[in-house]
Structure 1
Amino acid sequence: MLKQRSGLILALIVFTLFLLWFVSIRQSLLFVVGIGLGLVLAGLRFGFTTGWRNLIEQRDASGAYAQLLLLAIAAAISLPLLAAFPGELSAALGAPGISLLVGALVFGAAMQIADGCGSGTLYKAGLGIPLNMAILPVFALGSFLGSAHLGWWLDLGAMQPVSLLDSAGLGGALALTFGGLAVVAGLCFWWSKGATTPRPAFSKGLLLGAVLLAVLAVLNLVIAGQPWGIVYSFGLWGAKIAQATSLFDPTVNAFWSQSSNATALQQSVFLDVTTITSLGILAGALLVFAGKKNDSQPKLNATQWIVGIVAGFLLGYSSRLAFGCNVGAMVSGISTGSLHGWIWVALAFIGSLAGVRIRKYYGY
């Protein structure tokens, strides 16, 4: 195990130096941040999906409390930074509308069935979990198709993105964000009081993970100039493959003909900030997994494989419609003052209520 891990560390150092020398200092730093994200997610098993499922099924709020702490710390740092450097840093804004409503609902259900959101799929694939490894490519396919169809969904009805910073100022944005988090914490406390088996309210490992993820998310914002995201990288990979095989013409597509997206398609994938952090998450999870035997996963039957892979495809498609997953929409959206992040959480949780029941039905 030590030999395998040493070899992997050497490979990651070489790749980081490659990015530093041939791409940019920024990309090499973001790759290191991504490795840190992967180490925390995989090493501490910080699962957004699992936290919600434990709250629903067992009335165990420890995972939800950790996520609220993550949001609180990230918002407390990110919102003042965005207010101080509006030209250099951007928020994760999404347009409330039919696209967001449908996407968040479907994503909430699909992530429970597939046992992972965007970050969960990445780090569990890095841990060698077979279902998540199979889901990763169909997640990318779904994300690409979702981006290709996004214009049609937006035409069904959408508002302009709403920034709490722009609407209420820094003080108002902080007050609204922390007030919202306090309300959610109160609801979690009320729900957890009905547990038949008393459980610890807090998990030291998850709380540590929340603090570390918040710090790394802020570092991503400062280094990249934009919040931590995952879904865009998946869609970009799918779009590049489709374009290379002449199956897709981005110049006639509403999403991929936009200047920033068209540029991303033409440039090396190593210049995309979301790709670099996503690769870093995979690398960090691989470091945790290196040399270990992953024999704890139950064997899946054919029906479970099919249902899981379909759910993975829907994860990709719906996350693009919803302007992100638990990371891009919830963590980055809420922590940078986007109204759509709050709408996403409410609808994704409703979707998760259905997803947990479907997951039970198929015996996962």
Structure 2
Amino acid sequence: MSNTVQYDDVRGPWGRVLTRGALVIGALIAIVLVAALAGPRFGLMLAIGLGLGMTLEGLRFGFAGPWRAMILRRDPAGILAQLLSIGIVAIVAIPLLQSHSGELVGAEAPVGLAMIGGAFVFGAAMQLVLGCGSGTLINAGSGNPVGLLTLPFFAIGSFFGAYSLVWWTDLGSLPIIVLRGGQGLAITLALLVAVAAFLLWRAAPGTRRIPGRLIVAALILAALAIGNLLVAGQPWGVVYGLGLWVAKGAVGAGADLSGSAFWSTPGNAARVGDSVLTDYTSLTNFGLIAGAFVIANWRAGGLSARMPTLPARAWVATVIAGLLLGFSSRLAFGCNVGAFFSGISTGSLHGWVWFAAAFAGAWVGVGLRPHLGLEPRT
């Protein structure tokens, strides 16, 4: 999906000024409207989401791409930046969760057969579309046709994965294991350092440094993720909001979700009935899309349309991968953000298991791309 068509900027200097002014004003109006309609905290959550989206798109910080770079070229820079950001969040989040257990919750989940399998499938599928949960939202917001096609199927898959989640977890899971307190933080940081050291050991010559833009992005993302935890009382996540949108649409169309042990629980049923502007994950997801849109239009070339020339089987694979991304991420209790980034940074053991399983899946996904027509065979 590397073939792109970049349209020339025909706006002229004043046109760019007007466009950028409109983008800033539009973003501010959206934040104020959400704050007025739902409350200041929800307006702030949208602002955090916008910051996340602008950082990811503007500084080209991602998850799927860096994993691919390590697999194909032994370039660990992107993953090292991810580990740096996770470590910074952990230094703040793990002690906060220990001291404010009644107010804040971590991204905690059990390790089980479905969780491991879901993470593996997710890792493979994200390499097929070159986007994880946040990456799909960013790609869609920046005008990437593959991202725009993947996003609705990702949401549908998330809804159905959640619908059947309890059945899958009943196949077998360990109790939730969380690393807490000073000892838990020390173990988390030691594991992050160990993974970083291994990546540096395996790195190709000339790739053993993190570019400055990725360091800046890691710091900003860490600050915003901590802000997400403090404002929402929960870590940054993506997948739940996507499934919730489909659940709301299904109920609006007359569907009965009482047959789902997940969607019929009081908390989830209430969210389905409440305004989407009061769901923290939805607001940050909206912000991711809008933030990427702002940056894509801010650039000198304006919004770019990436037009990959792909065979029919590649587009079919994209649709299927989108469904698998949503379904598998629900079984795995999150994507690169909710399980890997937030899971590890809030001390949940499942984040580490997710990382290992998803990276193994990514290796498979990278190998599948040429066979599905998603890139030329070498």
Place the TM-score, normalised by the shorter chain, in its bin: over 0.9
Correspondence for 1:211: 219
Q: Does 1:108 align with 2:123?
A: yes
Instruction: Verify: 1:141 aligned to 2:139, yes or no.
Output: no
Q: Alpha carbon RMSD of aligned pairs, Å?
A: 1.3
Letter in 2 for 1:331: F
Question: Partners in 2 of 1:24 and 1:6 — Cα distance?
Answer: 26
Match of 2:263 among 253, 256, 263: 256
Q: Does 1:220 align with 2:228?
A: yes
Closer, same or farther: CA 57–297 of 1 in aligned 2, 3 Å: farther
Please show how residues 205-354 of structure 1 align to structure 2 within 5 Å: 205-247=213-255, 249-290=256-297, 292-295=302-305, 297-354=307-364
Offset from partner CA, 1:135-179 (integer Å, 9 cap, x none):
1100000000000010110111112221111xxxx1111111011
- Report the Cα distance in structure 1 between the residues aligned to 2:76 and 2:153, rounded to whole angstroms: 31
Aligned to 2:27: 12
Give the one of 141, 145, 153 matched to 1:130: 145
Distance, in Å, in 1 between the alignment partners of 2:286 and 2:251 is 21
Secondary structure at the residue paired with 1:178? helix
CA distance in 1, matches of 2:129, 2:169: 26
Q: Is the 8 A contact 2:57 2:138 kept in 1?
A: yes
Instruction: Indicate if the aligned counterparts of 1:177 and 1:334 stay in contact, CA closer than 8 A.
Output: yes
Task: After superposition, give the CA deviation of every residue in 1:81-121 in whole Å (9 maximum; x if it has no partner).
Answer: 11121111001011111120111000000000011001000
Q: Does 1:83 align with 2:62?
A: no
**What is the SS of the residue equivalent to 1:274?**
helix
- 1:29 is matched with which residue? 44
Normalised by the length of structure 2, the TM-score is: 0.91
Question: In the aligned structure 2, how far is the partner of 1:214 from the partner of 1:258?
Answer: 32
Q: 2:143 touches 2:305 (CA, 8 Å); kept in 1?
A: no
Q: How does 1:155-234 map to 2 (within 5 A)?
A: 155-165=170-180, 170-192=181-203, 195=204, 198-199=206-207, 201-234=209-242
**Equivalent residue for 2:134?**
119
Q: Gaps (5+ residues) in structure 1? A: none
Q: Contact between 1:56 and 1:353, CA under 8 Å: does it hold in 2? A: yes
Q: Would the aligned equivalents of 1:114 and 1:309 in 2 still touch at CA under 8 Å? A: no
Report the count of equivalent residues: 356
Q: 1: CA distance between counterparts of 2:170 and 2:242?
A: 23
Q: Percent identity?
A: 44
1:341 Cα deviation from its structure 2 partner? 0.4
Cα separation, partners in 2 of 1:301 and 1:3, compared to 1, 3 Å: farther
Opposite residue 315 of structure 2, the aligned amino acid is: W
Alpha-carbon distance in structure 2 between the residues aligned to 1:15 and 1:199: 41
Measure, in 2, the Cα distance between the counterparts of 1:282 and 1:9: 15
User: What is the rounded CA distance, in whole Å, between the counterparts of 1:39 and 1:293 in structure 2?
Assistant: 14
1:62 match: 77
Deviations 1:167-202 (CA, angstroms, capped at 9, x unpaired): xxx11111110111111112101211xx3x633522
- Give 1:296 deviation, angstroms: 5.1
Structure 1 length-normalised TM:
0.95
The 3-state SS of whatever aligns with 1:307 is helix
Contact 1:143–1:317 under 8 Å retained in 2: yes
- Read off the aligned partner of 2:67 and give its amino acid letter: W
Separation in 2, partners of 1:235, 1:128: 22
Q: Deviations over 1:296-325 (max 9, x none)?
A: 553222221111121111100000000000
Q: Distance in 2 between matches of 1:212 and 1:113?
A: 28
Q: CA separation in 2, counterparts of 1:200 and 1:163?
A: 31
Displacement of 1:5 after TM fit? 3.0
Could you tell me which residue of structure 2 aligns to residue 358 of structure 1?
A: 368
- Secondary structure in 1 aligned to 2:237? coil
Unpaired segments ≥5 residues, structure 2: 1-15
Q: Which is richer in helix?
A: 1
1:50-81 CA-partner distances (Å, limit 9, x unpaired): 11100000000100110110111010011111
